[in-house]
Each structure stands twice: as C-alpha cells, then as structure tokens.
Chain A
Amino acid sequence: MSEDNDLILEVRHVSGGYRPNSLFGRSKAYKEVLHDVDFVVRNGEILGLVGESGTGKSTLAKIILGLMEPEEGEVIHHSPRPQIIFQDPYSSLNPAYTVEWSIEEPLRIYGKYDAAERKRRVREMLERVELPEEVLKAKPDELSGGQRQRVSIAAALIRRPRFLIADEPVSALDVTIQAQILRLLRELREELDLSYLFISHDLNVVYQLCDRVLVMKRGRIVEQGSVEEVFNHPREDYTKRLLAAAE
C-alpha cells in the first residue's frame, strides 16, 4: 500500500483565526488562533488532540470540516463526508424531531434510497449503537445524555463516513456512561473501518482510547507521538504539567 492510501486526513501548515466583521466588510482586527498546525490522521487510527481549553482545538475541528476557512495552509481529506460528534448531547439533536427522523435525515438528504431501505438502515445503525427500537419514536428531551450521544453517533455514521471528529464526546457524561460510549466508539472503529480525531482535555480518556496523540498549546502543536511515548516520556514541560494535573 502506498503512503497516500494509508492517510485519511492531512492538515498542512494550517493557520487560522477570527476576523470579526465590521459594518463595511472584513475588519483588520485579525485574531490568530492556530499557528502552522501540521499533522496527518492515518487510516484506522484514533488520534488524540489534547490541550487546555481555549487553545484552539475546536477551531481546528471547524477548519478541518470546512466550516471555517484557514488563513494559510490546507486540509486534504482522503475520505468523503467527514462528520463530527459534539460534547453537548443536548444541542446536537434537533429538539423538534424524533430520533428516527434525526438518524434518517442524512439518508433523505442523500436521496438514493427508498423509504423501506432507509428504515432498514436506520434500524441496523440503531442496533450498532446499542439502542432499543423504542427510542425511535422519542424526542430528544425524553432521552438521557448517554442515549442522546448514541443517537448523535448513529446519525453521524449512517452514511458510512470513514473519518469522524469527536469533540469532547464524553466530557458531559457520567463516568460509567463515559466508559460505555468509549467502548462503543472503539467497537465502531473496527466494525465500520473508521478513523477518529478525538479531542479531549481529559488525558485519562485519551490514554484509554487513542493510538497517537497531539499536544496543543496556544494554537501550536508542541508535541506528538504514540500515546505510550508521549504519556510515559513527555519531552515538553507543558505536556508534563498537563499529565501532572490529570493525576
């Protein structure tokens, strides 16, 4: 297999930030959040992204997903339709609709399957995220946080993307529910041939789940390597401090 086939995502020298709009077009007050961020996600791996809050992790996610333009550099996807799971399970599902509607919607947008095939795929995905069929008719406000997160995962995966960004997907959940969702994400990676960029400030969670890890400080990647390498032999003081804080 060639080197390129092995990559699912390339982030090349990306810098980016915010330019608040003034009344007449773009203002000059540019606030740079990311500085020359450069990394790859390999096929099938779970890449962790750690760092304190406000360090630019979510901005990076937005740029990767094309929700924001980078000022410099480029993002190259080697798989179609990357998806995201958010931290807050209460704002990631449309409160006006049932679970069934939310999971089926991506297929309706795709438009290639008839109603029966869509229903079949929704039920299959529901089984994969280990939810009972009764939840299909429920509205999001009738579900627990963990159930909602499972529904979000089902909706994100129903069109079989190969790459998923998980932006603090368990940090709003109870510890026992956290463990269940992490196990589910690990299983789904195997079953559906997925790669993740797993954003977290919780180093214990990253240690459990990830293969490699990026350490981000004020918009720069200061250290990267395998989880064992970085966590057991951190080179940067910043990483050491993060690790000390996690213990």
Chain B
Amino acid sequence: MKNKKINGYLLAGIIITAFLLLLTVYGAIHTPYSPTAYTGMKFEAPSAAHLFGTDKLGRDIFSRVLKGMGTTLSVALITVIIGAVVGTAVGAVTGYFGGLVDDTLMRINDALTAFPSILMALLVISLLGPERKSSLILALGIVFIPSFARVTRTAFASLRDVNYITSARLMGAGNGRILLLHLLPNTGRVLLPALTIGFNNAVLAEASMSFLRITPLETSLGYMLSEAQGMLATAPWYALSTGLVIALLVFGVGLIGEGLQQRNKEA
C-alpha cells in the first residue's frame, strides 16, 4: 500500500532521532563521569577521555550533554503532550459542533495566539511560582494549546459532514463516540506532523527559557548553552557540542515531520 511507504525524509529522521533517543536513555542510566563533578583539568579540549572536552569547573561536557538531553527531552515531551491533548480536545469540540461554541473558543484562541509566546509563558510562570520545573512545563504546555487547537479544528470541521459520519449518526452513535472513535483516528495525518513541529518548538522554547535563566533548572541543553556563552573563547567546544545536539535533535524530528507530510501528499 502506497501510504505505508517510508520515504527518505522519514528514514533519515527516524535514524537521527532514534540515535539521539538511545543516547538519552543511555545517559539516564550511565554517564562516563558525574555531570556535576570535577573530573580533571579545566578547559580541556575534546579527547578520547573527554569526548566533548571539559568546562571551567573541569566537568565532563559529554556527560553534561547526555544529562541535559534527558531534561530537555522530557520537558519538551510533557509540554507537547499537554498542548496536544488539550488543543485537540478544543479543536475537536469547536470543529465538530461549530456555532457559538466555535466562535467563542476560537476568538479566545486568537487572543492567545496574538500574545507573544515567551511573554505568555513568563506570565504563567510568574503566576505559578518560578522555582518549580512543573511551572515551566505547564507554562509551555499552555503556550502550545492554540496551535494544536487550530490545526485539529480544521480537520474535525472538514470531516464532520462526511458520509461515514452521517451514517454513524443515523446508527445512533453519540457525539462522544463519533468524536473519539470515528473522527479522531482520521485526523492522524494532520495531527502527527503537527506533533513533530510542536515537539521541535517545545525543545527550542525550553532551550530559550533556560538560556534566559527564567527557571533555575537542573542541567538542560538551554541552560548549558547559556553557561557556554561565558566560555566561548576558552572552551568553544562547550557551546559547539551543546548547540549541535539541539540542532541535530530539531533537524531529526523536523525530517520526520516533513516525511509524514510527503507521505500524506502521495497517498
């Protein structure tokens, strides 16, 4: 079947992402050195002992990157799940029912979209208290709701009067059953690419938030990048390796998204 084909984008994206995910899992179980301990000389250039070199406190940057990936990925994942679940629920209800519910919720949605997302996140964080990681996750999650709502609303609205949905209604299926069982599986072709884009935005948003030191996070890629800024002259490999990992992560997931969209076009 044509639409089950794996194209080049998809394959490359899956390989890159799977490699980074494996590294992250490996990092969660074991790192070559403790990511916070002094391990040798400071500002050591990359070598066999220290793949990405060491920083000004003599910490092993490779170990820190492994740890940072774990933090960044988990924050991005939970963020995107919050955004996708709530956003899809809003999009489903507005797209399916239309009318006043649709008008009201989508105008609120527009208002949220019009707000700069970093500002929005700052607002939520300051309301929830900046000391906790959960504030950042929730703040970013809320920021991601409108884009998911918009994408899924279009999908649900375009399918609500399609013949098989009319038939389901005639057979006595309730709205909940139609939304979850009959419509949701058919929104995958827009939802999956949106998830990859959302995930990438979440990685970048987490990186910017901790780069700006808005929340005192443990080692995350963004936090490390802001640390690395101070050592750009003495330990350029710190910024380089951290930045490269972020770029590779976003690139890999972006390729998957592109691949999924290509596959939709072919099908």
Overall SS of chain B's interface: helix
Interface size of A by Cβ–Cβ distance < 8 Å?
Answer: 28
Tell me which of A84-92, A180-188, A231-239 binds B. Answer: A84-92
B186 engages A94 (CB within 8 Å): yes
Q: Which residue of B lies closest to A83 (CB)?
A: B170
User: A156 interface residue, CB < 8 Å from B?
Assistant: yes
**Which residues of B lie under 8 Å from residue A93 when comparing CB positions?**
164
Report yes or no: A21 in contact with B99, Cβ–Cβ below 8 A: yes
Q: Are A84 and B172 in contact (CB under 8 A)?
A: no
In the bound complex, do residue B169 and residue A109 qualify as a contact, i.e. CB atoms below 8 Å apart? no
Evaluate contact between A91 and B171: CB separation under 8 angstroms.
no
B186 touches A156 (CB 8 A): no
CB-contacts of B169-186 with A (<8 A): 169-173, 177, 182, 185-186
Q: Which among B166, B168, B173, B186 is the interface contact of A95 at CB below 8 angstroms?
A: B186
Interface assignment of A56: CB less than 8 Å from any CB of chain B:
no
A109 to B171, CA, bound (A): 7
Q: B167 an interface residue at 8 Å Cβ cutoff?
A: yes
Q: Does B162 contact A (CB under 8 A)?
A: yes
Q: How far is the CB of A162 from chain B (nearest CB, A)?
A: 14
A65 contacts B by Cβ under 8 Å:
yes
Contact in complex: A92, B170 (CB < 8 Å):
no
- Count, A-B residue pairs, CB within 8 A: 55
Q: Is the beta-carbon distance between B170 and A65 smaller than 8 angstroms?
A: yes
Give bound CA distance, A141 to B1, whole Å.
Answer: 9
Q: Classify chain B's interface size.
A: 10 to 19
Smallest CB-CB separation from B168: which chain A residue?
A105
Cα distance A141–B186 in the bound complex, in angstroms? 14
| Contact residues in B for A29 (Cβ distance below 8 Å) | none
Set of chain B residues within 8 Å of A128, measured between Cβ atoms? none
Instruction: Tell me, in angstroms, the Cα distance from A89 to B218 when the chains sit together.
Output: 57
A23-B103, A109-B177 known; A96 and B186 CB under 8 Å?
yes
Given known contacts A21-B99, A23-B103, A96-B186, is B170 in contact with A88 (CB within 8 Å)?
Answer: no
Contact B170 A84 (CB under 8 A): yes
B47 adjacent to chain A (CB < 8 Å): no
For A109, the chain B residues whose CB sits under 8 A away are 171-173, 177
> Which residues of A are found within 8 Å of B99, using beta-carbon distances?
21
| Interface pair B186/A91, CB less than 8 Å apart | no
A91 touches B162 (CB 8 A): yes
Query: Given A21-B99, A95-B186, A109-B177: A82 and B170 within 8 A (CB)?
Result: yes
Expressed in whole angstroms, the Cα–Cα distance for A12 and B20 within the complex equals: 68
User: Considering the complex of A and B, which 8 residue pairs feature the smallest CB-CB distances, nearest first?
Assistant: A96-B185, A106-B171, A92-B163, A91-B163, A86-B163, A94-B164, A109-B172, A96-B186
Known interface pairs A81-B172, A84-B167, A159-B171; 13 further A-B residue pairs with C-beta atoms within 8 A, sorted by A's residue number: A67-B170, A83-B171, A86-B166, A91-B162, A91-B164, A92-B164, A92-B167, A94-B185, A96-B185, A105-B168, A142-B1, A152-B167, A155-B167
Q: Can you list 8 A-B contacts (CB < 8 A)?
A: A67-B170, A86-B166, A88-B163, A91-B162, A96-B186, A109-B171, A110-B172, A159-B171
Which residues of chain A have a CB within 8 Å of any CB of chain B?
Answer: 21, 23, 65, 67, 81-84, 86, 88, 91-97, 102, 105-106, 109-110, 141-142, 152, 155-156, 159
